[in-house]
Amino acid sequence: MADAGGPATIKAFEERLLEVSESLPKRLRQCADYVAANKDRIAVSTVAEMAEGAGVQPSAFMRFCQIMGFSGFSEMQRLFRETFVGGWPDYSTRLHHLREKAEDSPTALLAEFVEAGRASLESLLKTVDPHHLEAAVATLSKANMIHIIGLRRSFPVASYMSYAFEKMDVPAMLHSAVGRLDNRNAIRDGDVVLAITFSPYSVETIELVEAVSARGIPVVALTDTVVSPLRKFDAITLSVSEVDFGAFRSLSATLCLAITLSVAVGTARSG
Amino acid sequence: MADAGGPATIKAFEERLLEVSESLPKRLRQCADYVAANKDRIAVSTVAEMAEGAGVQPSAFMRFCQIMGFSGFSEMQRLFRETFVGGWPDYSTRLHHLREKAEDSPTALLAEFVEAGRASLESLLKTVDPHHLEAAVATLSKANMIHIIGLRRSFPVASYMSYAFEKMDVPAMLHSAVGRLDNRNAIRDGDVVLAITFSPYSVETIELVEAVSARGIPVVALTDTVVSPLRKFDAITLSVSEVDFGAFRSLSATLCLAITLSVAVGTARSG
DNA sequence: TATAAAATGGAATTTATAGTCCATTATGGT
DNA sequence: ACCATAATGGACTATAAATTCCATTTTATA
Closest residue of A to B178, CA-based? A178
A2 is a domain residue: no
From B85, B103, B138, give the residue that closes a domain: B85
pLDDT higher for B153 or A92?
B153
Average pLDDT (B68-73) is 94
Q: Chain A partners of B81 at a C-beta cutoff of 8 Å?
A: 44-45
Same domain, A229 and A158: yes
What is residue B2's predicted lDDT score, i.e. its pLDDT?
36
Q: How far is the CA of B230 from the C1' of C5 (A)?
A: 33
| Residues A18 and A125 grouped into a single domain | no
- Residue A204 and residue A184 in contact, taking contact as beta carbons nearer than 8 Å: no
- Look at residue A3 and tell me if it is in a domain: no
Domain identity same for A17 and A102: no
Do B112 and B220 lie in one domain? The reply is: no
Answer whether residue B152 is part of any domain.
yes
CA–chain centroid gap for A248, Å, is 18
List bases, strand D, within 7 Å of protein CB. Answer: 6-11, 16-22, 27
Q: How many domains does chain A have?
A: 3
Residues A112 and A131 occupy one common structural domain: no
| A17 min Cα distance to partner chain B (Å) | 7
CA distance A51 to chain B (A): 11
- The predicted pLDDT at position A225 comes to 77
Residues 6+ apart with CB under 8 A from A194: A140, A146, A147, A148, A149, A161, A219, A220, A221, A222
Give the end of a domain, one of B122, B141, B173. B122
Residues with CB under 7 A from strand D: A 26, 46-48, 58-59, 62, 65-66, 71-75, 77; B 25-28, 56-60, 63
* A1 in any annotated domain: no
Give the domain CATH number at A30: 1.10.10.10
Q: Quickly give B96 CA vs C19 C1' distance in Å.
A: 37
Same domain, A27 and A126: no
Same domain, A164 and A200: yes
What CA–CA distance (Å, rounded) separates B94 from B217? 42
Residues contacting A102, CB < 8 A, separation 6+: A108, B130
- The answer to whether the CB atoms of B130 and A106 lie below 8 A apart is yes
A201 and A137 within one domain: yes
Asked if residue B111 keeps its beta carbon closer than 7 A to nucleic acid strand C, the reply is no
Contacts of A117 in chain B (CB under 8 A): 117, 121, 252-253, 256
Taking the CA of residue A14 and the C1' sugar atom of nucleotide C3, their distance in angstroms comes to: 38
**pLDDT tens-digit map of A48-92:** 999 999 999 999 999 999 999 999 999 999 999 988 765 565 677
Flag whether B2 is in a domain: no
| Residue B91 DSSP class | H
Last residue of a domain, one of B66, B100, B122: B122
CATH code where residue A127 lies:
3.40.50.10490
Confidence label for B180 from pLDDT (cuts 50, 70 and 90): low
Q: Are B164 and B263 in contact (CB under 8 A)?
A: yes
Query: Is B51 in the same domain as B115?
Result: no
Domain contains B4: no
In a domain, B67, yes or no: yes
Q: How confident is the model at residue B1 (pLDDT cuts 50, 70, 90)?
A: very low
Same domain, yes or no: B179 and B262 = yes
Q: Which domain, by its residues, includes B182?
A: 128-270
Residue-wise pLDDT tens digits, A232-268: 888 999 999 888 776 777 899 999 999 999 999 998 9
Q: Are residues B153 and B263 in the same domain?
A: yes
Residue B73 has φ and ψ, to the nearest 5°, of: -65, -40
**CA to C1' distance (Å), from A72 to D13:** 27
Mutate to test the interface with A, among B251, B261, B267 (most CBs of A within 10 A): B251
What is the distance of C-alpha A97 from the center of its chain?
26
3-state secondary structure at position A195: strand
Tell whether B27 and B117 lie within a shared domain. no
Mean pLDDT along residues B86-112 = 68
Task: Write down the mean pLDDT value for chain A.
Answer: 88
Residue B224 located in a structural domain: yes
Alpha carbon distance A208, A215 (integer Å): 11
Q: Are A13 and A78 in contact, with CB atoms under 8 Å apart?
A: no
